[in-house]
Amino acid sequence: MRDLTPLIAEALPSLVTLRHELHQHPEIGFHEHGTAARVADRLAKLPGMTLRTGVAGTGVIATLDADKPGPCVALRADMDALPMTEETGLPHASRVPGCAHACGHDGNVTCLVGAAVVLAAIREELRGPVRFIFQPAEEGGGGGRLLCEAGALETPPVAAIFALHAWPGLPIGAIGVRAGPAMASTDSIDIVIHGSGTHAAAPHRGTDPILAAAHVIVALQSIVSRNLDPTQPSVITIARIESGTTYNVIPDRATLCGTLRTLSAAGRAQAREAIRRVAERTAEAYGARAEVRLTPGYPVLTNEAAATAHIERVGRDALGADCVRDVSVSLGGEDFAYYLQHVPGAIWRLGVSASDSSPLVPLHSPRFDFPDAAIPVGVRIHCETVRRFDESVCAGSSK
């Protein structure tokens, strides 16, 4: 097999330039027009590449050697940024007020563009077609579901799909992956507690929704510890409380907003029923009424075992055994889960911290920046995942 090191090194300066451009011009979900144009422009110049643009609004789907007879492997990157203000102070910091690539999607996109460049250069070594999926709206917009519905996994049909995500806490040069449930389902919780307002000097003349809301919040925390299987990770978080307008008036209502995160369909259903029951009955105990709305979010992301083992083998061979880490479950959500409902595959974590002991700058922090030094690692693992793939990798999958 051809050594990829010179090819990656040759592509790296252009890839760094691309990442800095993307970072300076972040775009939120379904508005990634400039990002998609930059991606499409680079892919269109590659030999053997066919393009679909404007998929689900801004998505780009490219296929390398679509007519090859072997199994088609897909690689996916998410393109959207976050509605927040960057605080890195870097020369390539966001130029868009209130928008920043604080989750590293600029790096995810860059690694996938780099993989396309390198794989196009060694296309004669590949057993089958390669699908490159650049997806809009991962950050809550469900772009992955829309791309599946738009045929991203078809023509030719995809045999397996893989993705990376930048991961603080893992050092540059290392990757992490785990089989089975790897990231959580994400449901939104909206609870309105209805009471009756009165003057603060005479609380007995009304029904205090804030008091009821406080007890509802405390009671909801008992669901995880007392209603759900303690061996199955889950978390209920109330992240916003809104009520009242002044110091001396008890309002008519209080609003609670948060999320439910679980790692199984059964646990998700049980928790949803418990949230509704606990909120309604606790509010009733304080003379108030709870109106509960639970909005389904992303499904549980479950990495297929054989696909995960493939990533582990590729990582050990390309980086060394010490650089492939067994990582814990994350209760964050990821809409890569939608692709895995259709075909086997796995998402893996790309180390982006300076070292194991370096201070952690988490994803979604206004101080986060994807390091350029991680790009060659992401490109290499993407390329080797495709180059070493054959039908036996996912032969035992039920999908």
pLDDT reading at 394 higher than 90: no
pLDDT reading at 398 higher than 80: no
Cα–Cα dist 288/285, whole Å: 7
pLDDT reading at 230 higher than 90: no
DSSP secondary structure string, 224-274? HHHTS-TTS-EEEEEEEEEE-SSSSEE-SEEEEEEEEEESSHHHHHHHHHH
Domain 5-181+300-394: homologous superfamily in CATH = Zn peptidases (3.40.630.10)
pLDDT above 70 covers a percentage of the chain that reads 99
Query: Where does the pLDDT of residue 396 fall: very low under 50, low under 70, confident under 90, or very high at 90 and above?
Result: low
In 3D space, the residue among 19, 76, 3 whose CA is nearest the CA of residue 373 turns out to be 19
pLDDT digits (tens, 9 = 90+) for 178-192: 999 999 999 999 999
pLDDT digits (tens, 9 = 90+) for 48-102: 999 999 999 999 999 999 999 999 999 999 999 999 999 999 999 999 999 999 9
Give exposure, 335-358, as e/b (b: 16+ Cβ within 10 Å).
Answer: bbbbbbeebbbbbbbbbbbeeeee
Q: Look at residue 232 in the predicted model and tell me its pLDDT.
A: 86
Q: Supply 324's token pair.
A: 């492939």
What strands, in cross-sheet order, belong to the sheet with 289-295? 234-243, 253-262, 185-194, 289-295
The answer to whether 206 touches 198, Cβ cutoff 8 Å, is yes
**Which residues make Cβ contacts (< 8 Å) with residue 166, sequence separation at least 6?**
103, 104, 107, 108, 349, 350, 352, 363, 370, 374
Alpha-helical runs (H) found in the chain = 5-24, 33-44, 105-121, 143-149, 209-226, 265-285, 305-319, 337-340, 375-387
Length of the chain: 399
Give me the half-sphere count of Cα atoms (radius 13 Å) on the Cβ side of residue 191: 36
pTM for the model = 0.95
Residue with more model confidence, 237 or 393: 237
Query: Where does the pLDDT of residue 320 fall: very low under 50, low under 70, confident under 90, or very high at 90 and above?
Result: very high
pLDDT reading at 391 higher than 90: no
pLDDT digits (tens, 9 = 90+) for 197-215: 999 999 999 999 999 999 9
Q: Look at residue 231 in the predicted model and tell me its pLDDT.
A: 85
pLDDT digits (tens, 9 = 90+) for 17-50: 999 999 999 999 999 999 999 999 999 999 999 9
What mean pLDDT, rounded, does the chain reach?
97
pLDDT reading at 302 higher than 70: yes
pLDDT reading at 107 higher than 80: yes
pLDDT digits (tens, 9 = 90+) for 350-374: 999 999 988 999 999 999 999 999 9
The CATH fold assigned to 185-295 is: Alpha-Beta Plaits (3.30.70)
Domain ranges of the chain: 5-181+300-394, 185-295
